[in-house]
Amino acid sequence: MTGSVSTAGRTQGRVLIIAGSDSGGGAGIQGDIKTVTALGGYAMTAITALTAQNTLGVASVYGIPPDFIAEQIRVTVSDLGVDCIKIGMLHSAEVIDAVADTIEAECPGVPLVLDPVMVAKGGASLLAPEAITTFKRRLPVLATIMTPNVPEAEVLTGLKIVDADAAEHAATMLPTLGASAVLLKGGHMPGDVVEDLLVDASGLRRLRHARIETEHTHGTGCTLASAIATGLAQGLDLDRSVDRAIAYVWRAIETAPKLGRGHGPLNHAHTVRPFTGKDD
């Protein structure tokens, strides 16, 4: 894994982020905006929920009315346009239906990265159990790529993922839900090397990188999905978008600022040259 991420020549790309807010700033809308900006894209948002949370966990969730979520999407896209959509936390079946209906009406054919956010890093549920069926029915069919971690893949497939063979089986099953490609993230599996599995029409690709032993991994899933979305918005193909996103997240973990008393945030700004106010 390299320690630098090139963003040269990639300063365009409008990414609409449909996700919840993280008051601690490490994940959700806040982490997404930082990621898109650090990779040279332009971030827009439709906020689906407000959370009161920090590195220790989620204290409470306040849902945004589905009609207002849909309006955020409509007014943003109608004026600014969109090159890629990233979907994160959608906490209820009603919100899922509203988002899916609006995307189908307003953004047909726009590349879409689906991060199936179900459980927070500290264990709090972020998707109502009764909404899982609606999620599986409405959203994967819209996705250019879906990016579940192992626990999320277990929920989506009904499989228990206990080893590399089970992970590969789940990865090859997940596209049957409708997504054009799936990136099954291997961070929850044991070992010194993390193996992510990318499955698309061309087959299965194994992406291996060294594990960084740290507690400061809050927002890695949101960050990875938004980084992929930025690449797609900027015209990179799927393989290059995924490769750059993994490199970006790896470096963000390696240089994490070590804030908070729990699962700390990443260093989203590691690509950004500090502004001094002088002509450098």
The CATH number of residue 34's host domain is 3.40.1190.20
pLDDT, position 124: 64
The C-alpha angle 211, 29, 88, rounded to 5 degrees, equals 70
pLDDT, position 3: 46
Instruction: With CA atoms as reference, report the closest residue to 222 among 100, 89, 94, 70.
Output: 89
Q: Is residue 57 part of a domain?
A: yes
How many structural domains compose the chain? 1
Q: Show the low-confidence residues of the chain (pLDDT under 70).
A: 1-11, 120-125, 280
pLDDT, position 82: 98
The C-alpha angle 276, 250, 183, rounded to 5 degrees, equals 130
Q: Whole-model pTM above 0.85?
A: yes
Q: Is residue 2 part of a domain?
A: no
Share of the chain above pLDDT 70, in %: 93
pLDDT, position 203: 96
Rounded to a whole number of angstroms, the distance between the first and last alpha carbons of the chain is 30
Q: Is residue 215 part of a domain?
A: yes
pLDDT, position 6: 55
Residues with a known catalytic role: 185, 217, 219-222
The CA distance from 125 to 147, in Å, is 18
pLDDT, position 123: 60
pLDDT, position 11: 57
pLDDT tens track for 240-276:
999 999 999 999 999 999 999 999 999 999 999 888 8
Six token digits for residue 249: 């997240």
Q: Is residue 34 part of a domain?
A: yes
pLDDT, position 117: 87
Q: Which domain holds residue 41?
A: 14-270
